[in-house]
Amino acid sequence: MAGPARAYLAKYYAPASAESGLTRPITLNMLSGPWDTADFRAHPEGMAVFEWAPGPNGIKFRAAMAKLNGGEENARKIRAGYRAMIASRSREFGWRQLPPTDD
């Protein structure tokens, strides 16, 4: 289902990300391991965005998805259709060390 899932992302999720002002994730197409793809998304706000669900970015994204696709019910169906293509998923957290600044 990787091909149809990528097409779904391009058709529905990428435009909603752009409309909501969110950056698109960096997507790696995996050559080995258990996953077809791995998405990496920066959260400049830090871990606070995960303290409640949906977080502020999720609210923006869902509003944009609804606006672009004829309402919340259609957006819900699109999200459910995408989730149905995913056999298994995992969410991992990490951070990147930035070089020191000369403040």
Q: How far apart are CA 79 and CA 74, in angstroms?
A: 9
Which residues partner with 26 through β-bridges? 40
Q: What is the mean pLDDT of residues 6-23?
A: 91
Give the residue with greater pLDDT, 77 vs 35: 77
Instruction: Check whether 103 has a pLDDT greater than 70.
Output: no
23 Cβ partners below 8 Å, 6+ apart? Answer: 17, 41, 42
Domains held by the chain: number: 1
Q: What is the mean pLDDT of residues 68-91?
A: 93
**21-72 per-position pLDDT tens digit:** 888 888 888 899 888 888 888 777 777 777 777 778 889 999 999 999 999 9
Evaluate whether residue 95 is within a structural domain: no
Q: Which domain holds residue 42?
A: 2-84
pLDDT value, residue 3: 84
